[in-house]
Amino acid sequence: MRRVTKQQKVLAITEILESYYPEVPVPLDHKDPYTLLIAVLLSAQCTDERVNKVTPHLFEIADNPHDMAVIPVEDIREVIKPCGLSPRKSKAISELSNILVEQYGGEVPKDMEALEALPGVGHKTASVVMSQAFGEPAFPVDTHIHRLAYRWGLSTGKNVQKTEWDLKRLFPRELWNKLHLQIIFFGREHCPARGHDPLKCPICSQYGRKTLFK
């Protein structure tokens, strides 16, 4: 591994990610902020691939908060069962849809605090919506990005909040939205949680923590 400064490492990792993923699609299929919000909510402890198989059936029934708000929770639950945690997620989808209708005229608010106040919507989900639906700078950190940031020596790995703070401090604000997607795609293909060989990883082999090689 190279002996480099933190600034050099950040620049090098940025260049590697850009070389592998100059264009990054949003992993969750959606057509507007509301359908993205629902898809991200469903993705908790579920793969994007499975969510993308479920949402067409759900959005065929209702693809806006006005329609979703009047659908029985049991019907929503039945459709989203493959995503797991269906009792909690169906309740959250119904409740947040009602709130959007009653308080926001059926529109998803373009505001982090307002999003976080919605049922079933945590900081990460709100960050994804702000970045991918509204183009506002955010750095959503899930367990995968949290793991990679630690592997690459960009954060201490104490918790996802600390990792988000570290990444926002290290990388330019204008890169946050794209970087978070680049890291996700890179992790899936080159730096997985299991069966990972750091010597074959384009980033870990050069900039990973020494403990990876013990």
Q: Which residue numbers are catalytic?
A: 124, 142
- Tell me how far apart the alpha carbons of residues 27 and 47 are, in angstroms, rounded to a whole number: 10
Over the range 183-204, which residues count as b (16 or more CB within 10 Å of their CB) and which as e?
bbebbeebbeeeebebeebebb
Residues 6+ apart with CB under 8 A from 173: 137
Give the DSSP letter string of 13-55.
HHHHHHHH-SS---SS--SSHHHHHHHHHHTTTS-HHHHHHHH
DSSP H helical ranges for 62-202: 65-68, 73-80, 86-104, 112-116, 123-128, 143-151, 160-170, 176-190
The radius of gyration of the chain's CA atoms, rounded to the nearest angstrom, is: 19
* Three-class DSSP category at 60: helix
The sign of the torsion formed by the CA atoms of 82, 86, 89, 92 equals positive
Q: What is the dihedral of CA 8, 14, 131, 160, to 10 degrees?
A: -60
